[in-house]
Amino acid sequence: MNGRERIFAVIQNKELDCLPLMPITMMFAADRIGAKYGDYASDCRILAEAQIRTAEEYDFDYVSAISDPAREAADLGANIHYFDDQPPAINEANALLADKTRLAGLKPIDPSQGRRMSDRVQGVALLKERAGSDKLIEGWVEGPCAQGADLRGINRLMMDFMDDPNFVRDLFAFAIDLELKFARAQIEAGADLIGVGDAAASLVGPALYKEFVFPEEKRLVDGIHEMGGMVRLHICGKTKKHYEGMGKLGCETVDLDWMNPMDAAREVMGPDQALCGNIDPVEVVKNGTPEKVWNGLAECHRQTGPKYIVGAGCEIPRESPLENVRAITEYARSNQPVAMP
């Protein structure tokens, strides 16, 4: 079985030879080929090379075009800080929509005309061309809360929920119109699956999640499905309070960050949901030992049962000891999935 087949198999409840393996790498991957992260995020050839070399070296089952959340905001004209060896960052003080009234004049741009969005679409095409026969190809978009925060500034957005709920609805609708276009372009370029990152959603309570975030996440997930793509949901941070909604989105696979219990996720989201995670990227992967990695994953696997995908709670940090990352792979390769009941 190759990696691509393995991920399809876990999602479609088919027989597997070992556990599927989908850890997120960005800066870790750039470092593997000695590339500066600034170049990784701005030149898809470097991203593709780093992703493919890392996936080959560590036998990951997929490659991804994820890099940073600022691509869409950059193309819309936001003020972005670029760094030599760090991810680009949005200048929040001067966020594009620091003045709310500017939303009305904003248009969801075409990804093929943008600069940084086009680079990601081309990155997907390159990954597909070079690795598409044996690795799953992952594209990436932002969820409503994350993209809303990128455009408006996260501190402002958090208060907008109460100050101006209609603005938040319009903002999220705008964001998802844009992300749907972005997802379509990546699927057309060869993405099998689209990762949806919605980190800021972990900061709001269940009531706001249900009212504002879930409906737009759902529209995004349904839209990607209609285009023939699969979805991986990735919300950083504490998400136990949102389990119910996250399960109802109908994503092919859901990531859980390290502080969230896998067993409760299995219980709430049901037996059909593939779940990926969730050892602590910093304490276990970066600061731990191969043994700690192995034991941590064994516990995640035990709690999750069937339909388990091996991964860390979030990005594998740069400077993680290579033997620890190898231990993640060894765990996946030497373990059989728990059988479906």
Q: Which residues are at the interface with another protein (CB under 8 A)?
A: 86, 89-90, 92-93, 154-155, 158-159, 161-162, 203-205, 208, 241, 282, 286, 317-318
Nearer to another protein, 138 or 315 (CB): 315
Nearer to another protein, 169 or 318 (CB): 318
> Which of ligand B12, another protein, none does residue 199 bind to, with CB < 5 to 8 Å depending on kind?
ligand B12
77 by Cβ neighbours in 10 Å (0-12 / 13-18 / 19+) ranks as exposed
Over the window 181 to 200, marking each residue x when it contacts ligand B12 by CB under 6 A and - when it does not, the resulting string is: ------------------xx
Give residue for tokens 């060896």: 85
Does residue 158 interact with ligand B12 by CB under 6 A?
Answer: no
What is the crossing angle of helices 322-333 and 44-58, to 10°? 60
Binning the chain into helix, strand and coil, the percentages to the nearest 5 are 55, 10, 35
Contacts (CB under 6 A) with ligand B12, residues 223-242: 236-237
Nearer to another protein, 173 or 282 (CB): 282
Instruction: Output the smallest distance, CB 82 to another protein, in A.
Output: 13
The count of residues interacting with ligand B12 (CB under 6 A) is: 20
Cα(139)–Cα(137) distance, rounded to whole angstroms? 7
Cα(77)–Cα(80) distance, rounded to whole angstroms? 9
Q: Within a 10 A sphere around the Cβ of 70, how many other Cβ atoms?
A: 21
Instruction: Output the smallest distance, CB 58 to ligand B12, in A.
Output: 19
Q: Are 331 and 18 in contact (CB under 8 A)?
A: no
Question: Which one of 102, 282, 290, 329 is in contact with ligand B12 (CB under 6 A)?
Answer: 282
Does residue 74 interact with ligand B12 by CB under 6 A?
Answer: no
Instruction: Output the smallest distance, CB 257 to ligand B12, in A.
Output: 5
DSSP 134: T
